[in-house]
Amino acid sequence: IEESEKFRIEYWELEEAKLRRTPAPKPLATRIALVTGGGSGIGRAIAHRLAAEGAAVAVADLDGERARTVAGELGGPDRAVAVTADVSSEQGIADALRAATLAFGGVDLVVNNAGISISKPLLETTAADWDRQHAIMARGSFLVSREAARIMTEQGLGGDIVYIVSKNGVVAGPDNIAYGAAKADQAHQVRLLAAELGGHGIRVNGVNPDGVVRGSGIFAGGWGAQRAAVYGVPEEKLGEFYARRTLLGREVLPEHVANAVFALTGGELSHTTGLHIPVDAGVAAAFLR
C-alpha cells in the first residue's frame, strides 16, 4: 500500500472510531442540568423550560433566595435543587456542581447564564470594572465549563454546554467595552470548547439574545436606565424601543431565549456544535437607521 493510501485508511479508521465513540444526546427527560444565574430573568426561564421537558435542574445563583424561589417553582427536591454559588469563585463553582451531582447523580447539561453588565464609555471604565465583568462572565463560564467537562468526560455519556452570550459579543454596542469584550470571550469559548470536547460527544453552543428587558435584573438594576439615556428614550419605553428596532418588530422575552436552549439541547439539533443562535428578532443581522 502506498503511503498516501495508508494515510487515507488510517484517517477513515480514526473517523469511524470517533463516530462509534461519541454518544448521541439523551432525551431531556433523562438529563441533569445546571443553570447558573438561574434565579432571575433568562436563567429562570431556561430552568423552567428544561424542567418542563423533564430534566432535573440545579438552579445556581449568587442570590440564594432567588435560586430557592425558582427551584421551588420547578417542583420538589427530586426535580430541582437550589444552590447559592458565585461563579467568579472556584469554590462557588465546585459547590454548584456538587449540589447537582449529589442531588441527581451527575450533570450532563450546563447553561452558562450568570452575568452582570458593567457598561461605560472606555475612558470611564476602570481596571476594577474590567476585572469584575470578566471574572463573572469570561473566567466564570470558562471554569464552569472546565469543571462540567471533567464530570461529563468521566461519565462518558456526552452532554451539552450552552453559553448565553449576547448580540454584544458579536457586534459593537455603545459604551460597552467591558461587557462586550467579556461576551466576545464567551463567544470564542463556544468555538474552542466545541473543537476540544466534540470527540467526547459534548456539544457546545451559544445563544445570543438582545433587548430582553422584561424580567431582566440586569435591565432593572441600572443597565436599563443607562441604555435609556444612551438611546434617548424613557426607561419605561425601553422594551418597546428595542422591539421597534428589530427586523421583526417584536419584543424578545426570556422564554424566547429558553426556546433556543431547548432547540439546542432537546435532540433535534443533535449534530450541531460550535454554533451561535441569535435570539434578537433580527437586530444583529442588519444595520438599521
Selected range binding ligand NAD among 103-111, 145-153, 203-211, 226-234, rule: CB under 6 A: 203-211
- Find the largest Cα–Cα distance for the chain: 74
Residue 66 is a binding residue for ligand NAD (CB under 6 A): yes
Which backbone phi and psi does 49 adopt, to 5 degrees?
A: -65, -45
- Answer for which of 116, 148, 178, 184 binds ligand NAD (CB under 6 A) is 116
Give residues 36-55 in contact with ligand NAD (rule: CB under 6 A). Answer: 36-37, 39-43
Residue 159 is a binding residue for ligand NAD (CB under 6 A): no
Residue 113 is a binding residue for ligand NAD (CB under 6 A): yes
User: Using CA atoms, how far apart are residues 45 and 39, in angstroms rounded to an integer?
Assistant: 9
User: Toward ligand NAD, which CB reaches closer, 43 or 158?
Assistant: 43
Q: Which amino acid is at 182?
A: A
User: Toward ligand NAD, which CB reaches closer, 36 or 273?
Assistant: 36
Catalytic residue among 11, 163, 179, 242: 179
How many residues line the site for ligand NAD (CB under 6 A)?
Answer: 31
Residue 87 is a binding residue for ligand NAD (CB under 6 A): yes
User: Toward ligand NAD, which CB reaches closer, 179 or 200?
Assistant: 179
Residue 212 is a binding residue for ligand NAD (CB under 6 A): yes
By CB neighbour count within 10 A (0-12 exposed, 13-18 middle, 19+ buried), where does 83 fall?
buried
Residue 176 is a binding residue for ligand NAD (CB under 6 A): no
* Distance of closest approach, residue 97 Cβ to ligand NAD, in angstroms: 13
Q: What angle separates helix 140-155 from helix 177-197, to the nearest 10 degrees?
A: 20
User: Using CA atoms, how far apart are residues 255 and 235, in angstroms rounded to an integer?
Assistant: 22
Clarify whether 179 is annotated catalytic.
yes
Residue 148 is a binding residue for ligand NAD (CB under 6 A): no
User: Using CA atoms, how far apart are residues 14 and 166, in angstroms rounded to an integer?
Assistant: 36
* Distance of closest approach, residue 203 Cβ to ligand NAD, in angstroms: 20
Q: How many residues does the chain have?
A: 289
Residue 65 is a binding residue for ligand NAD (CB under 6 A): no
User: Toward ligand NAD, which CB reaches closer, 149 or 162?
Assistant: 162
| Residue 189 neighbours by CB under 8 Å, 6+ apart | 138, 141, 142, 145, 163, 204
Residue 206 is a binding residue for ligand NAD (CB under 6 A): no
User: Using CA atoms, how far apart are residues 90 and 132, in angstroms rounded to an integer?
Assistant: 15
Residue 99 is a binding residue for ligand NAD (CB under 6 A): no
For residue 34, the tally of other CB atoms under 10 A from its CB is 34
- Answer for which of 46, 114, 161, 202 binds ligand NAD (CB under 6 A) is 114
Q: Which amino acid is at 241?
A: F
- The DSSP call for residue 27 is P
Which backbone phi and psi does 164 adopt, to 5 degrees?
A: -90, 100
Residue 218 is a binding residue for ligand NAD (CB under 6 A): yes
By CB neighbour count within 10 A (0-12 exposed, 13-18 middle, 19+ buried), where does 220 fall?
middle
Q: Rule CB under 6 A: which residues touch ligand NAD?
A: 36-37, 39-43, 61-63, 66, 85-88, 113-117, 136, 164, 166, 209-212, 216-219
Q: What are the catalytic residues?
A: 179
